[in-house]
Structure 1
């Protein structure tokens, strides 16, 4: 994301999904490997802009997934797809809790170090 897109310029502004997952203690490494292996179900979707897995700094069993989409409608289409159901089924055994937050990006700025 770059440029000075703002609240009145919806064109090119991603729809973002943030997942928070608590993983059963001791299963973190297996979860990470499985997430990476099945991630192609998301990044190969033509409306997906990117997909990232991060682990909490304080609690090593808490993970965050950020996924950007061209728009909400295309994300919702994927969310109901067979590919997404299969993806979730493979990750479900590792999860003890989870939540999802969706949002629209208002502004995006690229940091100097990424140039």
Structure 2
């Protein structure tokens, strides 16, 4: 496999299935680097991730160094939805990055994950673990969001009762979403780590 084949294609990888409408897409790509070319590869990887980060609809990128000398590097690309992901795949910026590849690294694995599965995968990939089963992700998400919803109804709703339902919802949704993403879900993931990612 040549370097230009890495990160190509839009179809679902090992994650299985296609993203539902509006569902976030997370792509993990593992690339094996020839010994002695690690520094050059890291520069190339950071370049393509920077280009992806500037692309409309990108929600974040990441680069994971190998745990051992023979292990692959991992690149993470997170997009708002399947349309944004497909647009990045076909973009001139991405093509230009692969045109600059030196041929000393090849793709050895990929996973395309959708929705909440991609969030949990950011926790598991560094330890070479598979994301939890979907029903476990549902339970963990429920444990995280339930106290936030109750708290929001007790604390925020009384102050917003004079607003129309739609306006009240639009004000509460981003607050709950931010707390869920940056506080509740990371805490629940740590709390349930052994259950979510059994040895």
TM-score (norm: length of structure 1): 0.73
The counterpart of 1:84, out of the listed 94, 118, 121, is 94
Quote the Cα distance in structure 2 between the aligned partners of 1:66 and 1:81. Answer: 17
Provide, for residues 36-82 of structure 1, a one-character-per-residue CA deviation record: whole Å limited to 9, x for no partner. 23432110012101110102212355100111100112101110111
Q: Which residue of 1 aligns with 2:186?
A: 110
Bigger helix share: 2
8 Å Cα contact 2:23-2:82 kept in structure 1: no
Structure 1, unaligned runs of 5 or more: 1-9
Partner of 2:78: 68
Counterpart of 1:22 in structure 2 is 32
The structural deviation recorded for 1:106 is 2.5
Higher strand share: 1
Structure 2: which 5+ runs fail to align? 1-19, 120-184, 189-199
Alignment partner, residue 182 of structure 2:
none
Once the two structures are overlaid, the 10-residue window that deviates more, 35-44 or 89-98, is 89-98
Distance of aligned partners of 1:96 and 1:13 in 2 relative to their CA distance in 1, 3 Å threshold:
closer
Which one has a bigger Cα radius of gyration? 2
Confirm whether residue 42 of structure 1 aligns to residue 52 of structure 2.
yes
RMSD: 2.4
1:83 Cα deviation after fit: 1.1
TM-score by length of 2: 0.45
